[in-house]
Amino acid sequence: MMTEDVTQRQIDILNVLRESGRNSLSFQSIAEKVRLSLQQIRPGLAELANWGYQFEYEGEDQVRLLSIPDIFFPHEIEQGLKTSTLGRNIHSFETINSTNAKAYSLAESGEPEGTLVIADRQTEGKGRLGRDWFSPGGVGIYFSLILRPKMSASGCAGISLIAALSLAETVRESPELEAMIKWPNDILVDGLKLAGILTELTTEGDNVGFVVLGCGINVNQAKGEFPEDIRNRSISLKMATGKVVNRIRLLQDFLENFEARYFHFVSHGLAPQLPLIKEYSSLLGKNISFKRHGVQLFGIARDIDPSGMLVVDTDQGELLLGSGEVTMTENYRQ
Least distance in angstroms from the C-beta of 98 to ligand BTN: 3
Q: Which of residues 100-129 bind ligand BTN (CB under 6 A)?
A: 100, 122, 125-128
Strands (E), the chain: 25-26, 54-58, 62-67, 90-96, 116-122, 140-147, 180-182, 186-189, 192-204, 207-218, 287-292, 295-304, 310-314, 317-321, 326-328
Say whether residue 251 binds ligand BTN (CB under 6 A): no
Least distance in angstroms from the C-beta of 122 to ligand BTN: 6
Measuring CA to CA, how many Å separate 160 from each of 141, 183, 244?
17, 10, 27
Least distance in angstroms from the C-beta of 1 to ligand BTN: 18
Q: Are the CB atoms for 288 and 312 separated by under 8 Å?
A: yes
Stretch that binds ligand BTN, among 34-42, 77-85, 96-104, 278-286 (CB under 6 A): 96-104
Say whether residue 223 binds ligand BTN (CB under 6 A): no
Least distance in angstroms from the C-beta of 224 to ligand BTN: 21
Say whether residue 218 binds ligand BTN (CB under 6 A): no
**Among all residues, whose Cβ is closest to ligand BTN?**
196
Provide the edge-to-edge strand list for the sheet that holds 25-26: 25-26, 62-67, 54-58
Of 131 and 268, which CB lies nearer to ligand BTN in the complex structure? Answer: 131
83 torsion bin: left (phi>0), alpha (psi -120 to 50), beta (else)? beta
Say whether residue 184 binds ligand BTN (CB under 6 A): no
Least distance in angstroms from the C-beta of 216 to ligand BTN: 3
Stretch that binds ligand BTN, among 77-85, 212-220, 254-262, 318-326 (CB under 6 A): 212-220
State residue 73 phi and psi, 5-degree precision: -70, 135
Calpha distance 283→184 (Å, rounded): 10
Give the residue from 266, 307, 277 showing the smallest Cα distance to 169: 277
Say whether residue 157 binds ligand BTN (CB under 6 A): no
Q: Are the CB atoms for 194 and 237 separated by under 8 Å?
A: yes
Of 151 and 198, which CB lies nearer to ligand BTN in the complex structure? Answer: 198
Calpha distance 18→79 (Å, rounded): 10
One residue of 10, 92, 144, 170 binding ligand BTN per CB under 6 A: 144
Calpha distance 108→202 (Å, rounded): 10
One residue of 27, 134, 142, 262 binding ligand BTN per CB under 6 A: 142
Least distance in angstroms from the C-beta of 217 to ligand BTN: 8
Give the residue from 146, 164, 137 showing the smallest Cα distance to 87: 146
Say whether residue 214 binds ligand BTN (CB under 6 A): yes
One residue of 155, 196, 299, 308 binding ligand BTN per CB under 6 A: 196
Q: Are the CB atoms for 118 and 90 separated by under 8 Å?
A: yes
Say whether residue 253 binds ligand BTN (CB under 6 A): no
Of 27 and 290, which CB lies nearer to ligand BTN in the complex structure? Answer: 290
Of 98 and 273, which CB lies nearer to ligand BTN in the complex structure? Answer: 98
Say whether residue 133 binds ligand BTN (CB under 6 A): yes
CB atoms within 10 A of CB 231: 13
Amino acid at 50: N
Calpha distance 116→91 (Å, rounded): 6
One residue of 44, 155, 175, 216 binding ligand BTN per CB under 6 A: 216
Interface residues with ligand BTN (CB under 6 A) are 98-100, 122, 125-128, 131, 133, 142-144, 186, 196-198, 214-216
